[in-house]
Amino acid sequence: MSETIRAGMIGLGAMGAPMAGHLASAGLLQAVWNRTGSKAEALAAVIGVTAADSPATLARECNVVVTCVSADADLLAVIAALRPGLRAGSTVVDTSTVSPDTARRAAQQAAQAGAAFVDAPVSGGVEGAIRGSLSVMAGGESADIERILPVLEAIAASITHMGPVGSGQATKAVNQVIVGGVAEAVCEALALAEKLNLPQERLLSVLAAGAADSWFLRHRGQSMLDNRFDTGFKLALLLKDLNIVQSLARDLNISMQGVELAIRDFGRLVESGDGNNDISGLIRLKRAPADAWL
């Protein structure tokens, strides 16, 4: 008989907090930890779990640790902090977006403590995290993924095993190329539509009914036309992801001009102080006169 899952959640941002809520609703969550302790304590009180005083304590209490952090260095720091509490039979499930190499390094560090590691980045936006309908692209051993499947099913509508550790992050890199490219196209198109004085409601309706339809258009079209950029995936985080893609492209000796354009555009917005805006804030750059960013 398999061991009962006692999950812990590390990282309670816009994606991590709702994921923790779904795990708690499924009866799988035992403890949470966040770098800002007050955030962990507040959420723990709401969903009825414990706020651990350290990652190591959480790892001792839980046999599955789900992480959702912002960057490669954050993940490696969390793994290091977890290691004193990890043990044989534990599994670390990382839902962050990091490089495939970082995922493999994290797996090696977890293995030194006897624990398994699954890289399980997600796609579907904050809305998907709130609904529990994310898409998971997982890398790791089949047995490890099978063991933590109830955890993934609590947060996702789609779970796909892509191969060994690192394959999930490689898949997420491909995903982010599309996300960045679609954002470029949709923001540019809607900026053009504004200059042409087209009626917004009819425009979004007709675009969504044809070949131009996309998740980004449906979920961000109206909000960006209304100049609302305070929800969703942050510009600075997509820029970080695209830099990972750029590094992979260099290693593979392939040209990715669309990625280079997106890095340039999102980099300008981050430099101008818009890094915490949703990526649809790109439309502000597309609205500018042609020579404004030269």
Boundary residue ending a domain (164, 190, 225): 164
Range of the domain at 231: 171-287
Q: What is the pTM of this model?
A: 0.95
Boundary residue ending a domain (164, 187, 209): 164
Neighbours of 37 (CB within 10 A): 13
**Same domain, yes or no, for 195 and 136?**
no
**Rounded CA separation 202/184 (Å):** 21
**Same domain, yes or no, for 41 and 160?**
yes
Which position among 39, 172, 195, 234 bears the catalytic label? Answer: 172
Boundary residue ending a domain (101, 133, 164): 164
**Could you report the per-residue pLDDT of 181-193, keeping only the tens digit for each?**
999 999 999 999 9
**Same domain, yes or no, for 252 and 136?**
no
**Same domain, yes or no, for 87 and 125?**
yes
**Could you report the per-residue pLDDT of 233-269, keeping only the tens digit for each?**
999 999 999 999 999 999 999 999 999 999 999 999 9
**Could you report the per-residue pLDDT of 209-220, keeping only the tens digit for each?**
999 999 999 999
Q: Please state whether beta strands 116-119 and 122-123 pair in parallel, antiparallel, or not at all (unpaired).
A: unpaired
**Same domain, yes or no, for 67 and 195?**
no
Mean pLDDT within 102-130: 97
**Same domain, yes or no, for 49 and 182?**
no
**Is 172 annotated as catalytic?**
yes
- H helices of the chain, where? 16-25, 37-47, 55-61, 72-82, 100-112, 125-131, 142-147, 149-155, 167-195, 200-208, 215-225, 235-252, 257-271, 282-287
